[in-house]
Homo-oligomer: A and B are copies of this chain.
């Protein structure tokens, strides 16, 4: 296969953005968080950081969006940094076969969530990040980590989104209290929930998000906050559990590890080759960005970056 040049890729991204603008059906944003439901739906952005650190983008790549569940990747990385493999005593590493906010398996498996990327599992990693500290200290550590990953101090939590989710996130309150009833939260549920809602409300652009994935992709100019062994394992989890019930479908179509958020963003890792972020707020029935997943599919087809290809 002939090598794709950065120029070729930039042309592809620009064309892709133009093509996406023709989309008839953008689908609808998450409605269960009022603040997210108001986001204009016909938006799209894509950013790619290449192996040499070059950043290419197209579309609304300067627009901030709520990263939501993508934050679970950063929290997991922080917690692995703090307590290492000990976290796996409290949360599993297997796909759940159920929707992201399901409580069924949690009861069957006595309060041990299947993996850190479903809501219940992320509540456990957030709880481990707190570890007796005040929420603002834990959140501060997380934000510092994200800023260092991007090399940009201008990354913040959108407090209106956090408040909006706190006011309506009954399902997550249920999950946290359920975990507590099984003894798998060390903090009071409200403390863990407050931290969780804030962590999900981090606002980023696709440019920032793509830069934040450099360690996971093992790019040459990555900041080195995540060891290569740890990056490999996080990538594996993103591949098998990163898109909830639609994880295998994403693996099947795109062939790259990714983590989606209900804000419409997806962080995608092409190990050794690129870190990619896409965004479009309308969600498919799995709760993943509809147009974003489609764009990822086309990018993978163009670049042949699938980890399952020769």
Complex Cα gap A115–B249 (Å): 11
Q: Mark A61-104, 1 if CB is under 8 A from B, else 0.
A: 00000000000000000000000000000000111111000111
Complex Cα gap A252–B307 (Å): 15
Chain B CB within 8 A of A148 CB: no
A-B contact pairs, 18 of them (CB 8 A): A93-B252, A94-B248, A97-B97, A97-B98, A103-B178, A104-B104, A115-B248, A171-B178, A171-B181, A173-B174, A174-B175, A174-B176, A218-B309, A239-B239, A240-B247, A271-B309, A272-B309, A307-B308
CB contacts under 8 Å to B, within A174-221, are 174-178, 180-181, 189, 217-219
Give the residues in chain B near A103, CB-CB below 8 Å.
103-104, 107, 174, 178
CB distance from A174 to the nearest CB of B (A): 4
Residue of chain B at shortest CB distance from A257: B308
Chain B CB within 8 A of A108 CB: yes
Complex Cα gap A4–B183 (Å): 48
Residue of chain B at shortest CB distance from A219: B310
Complex Cα gap A271–B232 (Å): 16
Complex Cα gap A231–B306 (Å): 11
Contact of A236 with B218 in the complex, beta carbons under 8 Å: no
Give the residues in chain B near A143, CB-CB below 8 Å.
none
Further contacts, 19 of them, CB under 8 A, given A95-B95, A173-B173, A239-B308 = A93-B249, A94-B95, A94-B245, A97-B97, A97-B105, A104-B104, A104-B107, A171-B178, A174-B178, A219-B310, A228-B309, A228-B310, A232-B308, A236-B306, A239-B240, A240-B240, A271-B309, A272-B309, A272-B310
Give the residues in chain B near A175, CB-CB below 8 Å.
174
Give the residues in chain B near A259, CB-CB below 8 Å.
none
Give the residues in chain B near A128, CB-CB below 8 Å.
none
Residue from B170, B239, B309 in contact with A178 in the complex, judged by beta carbons closer than 8 Å = B170
Residue from B170, B241, B308, B309 in contact with A248 in the complex, judged by beta carbons closer than 8 Å = B241
Contact of B95 with A306 in the complex, beta carbons under 8 Å: no
Chain B CB within 8 A of A255 CB: yes
Q: Mark A267-290, 1 if CB is under 8 A from B, else 0.
A: 000011000000000000000000
Chain B CB within 8 A of A293 CB: no
Contact of A237 with B252 in the complex, beta carbons under 8 Å: yes
Complex Cα gap A307–B247 (Å): 17
Chain B CB within 8 A of A112 CB: no
CB distance from A264 to the nearest CB of B (A): 22
Residue from B96, B231, B271 in contact with A97 in the complex, judged by beta carbons closer than 8 Å = B96
Residue from B94, B170, B236, B241 in contact with A308 in the complex, judged by beta carbons closer than 8 Å = B236
Which one of A231, A245, A257, A306 has the highest number of Cβ atoms from chain B below 10 Å of its Cβ? A306
Contact of A310 with B271 in the complex, beta carbons under 8 Å: yes
